[in-house]
């Protein structure tokens, strides 16, 4: 039996705002979209297209999602860390820096944290 890791899901309040953020902040593109009765799913991926983030928008959801203590996150490795840092700083998206570890985090429109890692 063989399993293949396909996607992670997060729920968002404003789908278009989130799609725009992930495109601008991380260069992700929308690979597909599924419309249903009261929901929309948008699947975002990077240029390799191996893994996707599924953004779920629910029509009847009006209040922000409870992210608990926000102890979970996604991570992205970037080939030009300094340029990415400057870009995210200009976007005012950086929410936490750990200079000792050489990493930082950005926050998406719903408050999900995304770790940015340099090439090692």
The model's pLDDT over 54-80, given as tens digits with 9 standing for 90+, comes to: 999 999 999 999 998 888 899 999 999
Nearest to 111 by CA among 97, 98, 95: 95
What's the pTM value of the predicted model, to 2 decimals? 0.92
71 is known as an active-site residue: no
For the chain, domains (ranges, CATH) are 7-60+72-118 (3.10.180.10)
Q: How confident is the model at residue 92 (pLDDT cuts 50, 70, 90)?
A: very high
Spot the catalytic one: 30, 54, 97, 115. Answer: 115
Contact (CB, 8 A) for 30 and 44? yes
Angle at 75 between CA 30 and CA 61, to 5 degrees: 55
First to last CA, the chain: 33
Whether the pLDDT of residue 3 is over 90: the answer is no
The percentage of the chain sitting over the pLDDT mark of 70, rounded to a whole number, equals 100
């Amino acid at each position: 039996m063989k399993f293949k890791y396909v996607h992670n899901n997060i729920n968002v309040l404003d789908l278009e705002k989130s799609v725009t953020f992930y495109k601008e902040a991380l260069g992700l593109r929308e690979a597909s979209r599924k419309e249903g009765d009261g929901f929309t799913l948008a699947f975002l991926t990077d240029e390799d297209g191996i893994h996707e983030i599924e953004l779920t928008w629910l029509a009847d959801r009006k209040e922000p999602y409870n992210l608990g203590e926000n102890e979970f996150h996604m991570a992205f490795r970037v080939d030009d860390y300094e340029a990415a840092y400057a870009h995210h700083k200009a976007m005012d998206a950086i929410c936490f820096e750990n200079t000792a570890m050489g990493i930082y985090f950005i926050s998406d429109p719903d408050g999900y944290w995304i770790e940015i890692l340099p090439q090692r």
